[in-house]
């Protein structure tokens, strides 16, 4: 596509009001904007796939966090992969494909230094937003570095059918875990965890108290808990933690839409007995692992040893509904919007 073939208008999603509790459609607007032109050192990208992720809920609030809040009345941001349609940057040409963080829109002008070239021949483009992207690296770094996983560990993962959780469980299995346990929000997802992803046990947290179900699934306790949910899952995991157990806190989706502070686990004193530790982390602190991660996980993906699912929603106009779906837990694996 040449510059003369470009449409003059690009659609993009804006945040128009700070959500209170669960976000509502009226907090957002799909607007039309001029297709921007790249300046020196920039590229114009036609986004092909964009990501929606739980962490984006935090950016909709004005509260200070690890990521800057979305600006009201401006295009929102998120992971995206697309085709370069115009370039004024050395090393990136029209026709190349790049990964960047100006999603929630059809076209984006990206600084070349903020764009990472990806190979559509090596893996499907959407994979660079999930299994080989930020979510995959989150799983890899969180399990292996933050939780100090070692061969023989028993591992429990919450939100285990999601993009991060499903990869955590499989990496643990491939690295020699003694037992891998997952929780998910439907019987269908539980079946997927055991039959496709190779978890040793899994349970539907809606079917009964998490503590009781985890006790049954992990009779010998857990050495590592990878937390995507928080709340009753975190309390249950602390209750089953073995001596020197580790908890890596990746996310707490159960509390993201709360308007009042959620009560903390009532059994933190058990960490004294178990000499356990809880550590939160952000994937941005672990990008030094990227080459190792792509090499190791890429090989597992190509060999079929590591499986992944995507829930694909079509059309920029459905970007918002896809995001709501992530908060509801509708997705199996990575939620992707195809433009």
Cβ atoms of residues 118 and 125 within 8 Å: yes
pLDDT for 261: 72
Report which secondary-structure segment, H or E, holds 141.
helix 134-141
pLDDT for 252: 86
Tokens of 68: 């800057």
Q: Closest Cα to residue 332, out of 214, 190, 203?
A: 190
Cβ atoms of residues 138 and 132 within 8 Å: no
Q: Closest Cα to residue 101, out of 91, 89, 109, 90?
A: 109
Q: Within a 13 Å sphere around the CA of 146, how many CA atoms are in the beta-carbon half?
A: 24
Tokens of 94: 């029209």
- Chunked into runs of 10 residues, the chain (339 residues) has average pLDDT values of 69 96 96 94 98 92 83 96 96 96 97 92 91 94 98 97 94 98 96 97 97 98 96 96 98 74 86 97 92 92 93 97 94 93
Q: Closest Cα to residue 46, out of 91, 111, 102?
A: 102
Alpha-carbon distance of 67 to 218, in angstroms, equals 36
pLDDT for 259: 66
pLDDT for 262: 72
Report which secondary-structure segment, H or E, holds 190.
helix 187-195
């Amino acid at each position: 596509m040449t510059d003369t073939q470009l449409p003059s208008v690009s659609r993009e999603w804006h945040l128009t009001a700070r959500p209170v509790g669960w976000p509502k459609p009226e907090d957002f607007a799909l607007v039309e904007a001029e297709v921007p032109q790249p300046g020196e050192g920039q590229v114009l990208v036609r986004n092909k796939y964009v990501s929606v992720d739980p962490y984006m809920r935090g950016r909709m609030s004005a509260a200070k966090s690890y990521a800057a809040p979305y600006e009201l009345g401006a295009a929102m941001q998120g992971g995206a992969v697309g085709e370069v349609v115009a370039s004024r940057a050395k090393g990136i040409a029209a026709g190349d494909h790049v990964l960047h963080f100006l999603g929630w829109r059809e076209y984006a002008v990206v600084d070349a230094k903020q764009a990472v070239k990806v190979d559509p021949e090596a893996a499907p483009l959407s994979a660079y937003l999930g299994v080989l992207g930020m979510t995959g690296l989150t799983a890899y770094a969180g399990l292996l570095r933050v939780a100090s996983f070692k061969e023989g560990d028993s591992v429990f993962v919450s939100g285990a059918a999601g993009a991060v959780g499903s990869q955590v469980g499989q990496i643990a299995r491939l690295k020699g875990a003694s037992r891998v346990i997952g929780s998910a929000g439907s019987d269908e997802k539980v079946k997927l965890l055991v039959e496709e992803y190779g978890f040793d046990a899994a349970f539907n947290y809606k079917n009964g108290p998490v503590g009781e179900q985890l006790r049954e699934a992990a009779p010998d306790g857990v050495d590592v808990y990878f937390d995507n949910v928080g709340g009753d899952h975190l309390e249950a995991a602390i209750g089953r933690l073995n001596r020197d157990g580790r908890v890596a806190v990746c996310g707490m989706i159960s509390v993201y839409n709360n308007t009042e502070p959620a009560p903390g686990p009532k059994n933190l004193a058990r960490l004294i007995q178990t000499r356990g530790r809880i550590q939160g982390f952000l994937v941005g602190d672990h990008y030094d692992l990227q080459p190792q991660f792509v090499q190791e996980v890429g090989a597992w993906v190509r060999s079929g040893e590591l499986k992944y699912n995507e829930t694909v929603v079509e059309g920029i106009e459905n970007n918002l509904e896809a995001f709501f779906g992530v908060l509801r837990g509708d997705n199996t694996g990575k939620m992707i919007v195809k433009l």
